[in-house]
Amino acid sequence: MVTEQIPYGAALMAGGLLVSLLPRPWSGLAAIGLPLGALLAWAGRGALPEITESYAGYSLVLQRADALAFPFVLVFTLTLIIGGLYAYHLRDRVERGAALLYGGAAIFTVLAGDWLTFYAGWEIMGWSSLYLIWAARDEASARAGQRYLLVHLFSGSLLLAGIWVQLLETGSLLITPLAASQPGSWPILLAFAINAAVPPLHPWLPDAYPRATVTGSVFLSAFTTKTAVYALARVFAGWDMLIWVGIVMAVYGVVYALIANEMRQLLAYHIVSQVGFMVAAIGLGGELATSGAVAHAFAHVLYKGLLFMAAGAVVYAVGTGKLTELGGWAGPLRWVLVCYLVGAVSISGVPPFSGFVSKSLVT
């Protein structure tokens, strides 16, 4: 069938463009219905087909759905559905469409089996996510978005340089695990490290996420860093240096989270810490450690998204997310408090919540 030759992520990206053009309330319904329909079609089919093409004499794999990619594709799709419900109230159709385009690009990247397709998804992620920051429409978000753009342009340039070196060395664009002896591996690793928010390359994350819209920060928390985690697991699993990088991330992120005075900035720093767990597990290599990293990424997308939704609800209702200016809202926002506590105990590794399972696999 013709539809089987359209990559899953590309279909969602096209849906994002459509959503930005539809009038309300159709755009809101489409933002929920399109990823839900894609998920149901995937479930009915049973598997995503491999899609291959050739370009300029090179073999391209536009879609490769294996065991490593599957959990990321599933949790990214679920995020688009749940996030679409959370953002249903939006009047800004373009923001809603940008979120779907961003998530579709993340899925497109994860399913890519060649570097050219991967790079295209990587770049679309950067540009579409930028709008979620600028959509706040104030001076702070404008400046944060400019810094975010510069960082991700640099990340994309490093990735392209590494791909070029790899192509010259191997004559192939297919994505395979890289060794330290391959010169192209280092700029690619640095590009992944930027998007994974590895210190000292991390400031873009706590700078931009708290300044995005309350709905945009939910999507931002899910896609960019987890796509980088997937990429590290795909290409750099077993690199010993990643163990120490992950440990530094875990400690650094939680220290700065403790001294943050803004709810979403606290959560943003905690992303750095939690991604550190995943990076360290990827550095350990092996089936169990890699499975732990993937499981923790899956769980983290869900509970961190819930935490950002709860924090966004507080900001929306109260007008501020500064912890020193909050107090006495547990009664009026009791259901928000319940949701926040669910996310908090999960991220703390309390049994039987998801964080307990995934952290147990990692540690």
What pLDDT is attached to residue 3?
55
> In the chain, which residues have pLDDT < 50?
1-2
What pLDDT is attached to residue 348?
81
pLDDT per residue as tens digits for the range 234-261: 999 999 999 999 999 999 999 999 999 8
pLDDT per residue as tens digits for the range 62-116: 999 999 999 999 999 999 999 999 999 888 999 999 999 999 999 999 999 999 9
What pLDDT is attached to residue 1?
41
What pLDDT is attached to residue 363?
67
Rounded Cα distance, 112 and 50, in Å: 10
CA distances (Å), origin 87, targets 5, 92, 93: 31, 10, 10
Q: Which residues, in sequence order, are bridge partners of residue 37?
A: none
Q: By the 8 A CB rule, do 175 and 236 touch?
A: no
What pLDDT is attached to residue 2?
41
What pLDDT is attached to residue 347?
80
Per residue, the 3-state secondary structure of the chain, as one string, reads CCHHHCCHHHHHHHHHHHHCCCCCCHHHHHHHHHHHHHHHHHHHHCCCCCEEEEECCEEEEEECCCCCHHHHHHHHHHHHHHHHHHCCCCCCHHHHHHHHHHHHHHHHHHHCCEHHHHHHHHHHHHHHHHHHHHCCCCHHHHHHHHHHHHHHHHHHHHHHHHHHHHHHHHCCCECCCCCCCCCCHHHHHHHHHHHCCCCCCCCHHHHHHHHCCCCHHHHHHHHHHHHHHHHHHHHCCCCCHHHHHHHHHHHHHHHHHHHCCEHHHHHHHHHHHHHHHHHHHHHHCCHHHHHHHHHHHHHHHHHHHHHHHHHHHHHHHHCCCEHHHCCCCCCCCHHHHHHHHHHHHHHCCCCCCHHHHHHHHHC
Q: What is the DSSP string of 230-268?
A: HHHHHH-TT-THHHHHHHHHHHHHHHHHHH--BHHHHHH
What pLDDT is attached to residue 5?
81
Rounded Cα distance, 78 and 300, in Å: 13
Q: By the 8 A CB rule, do 228 and 125 touch?
A: no
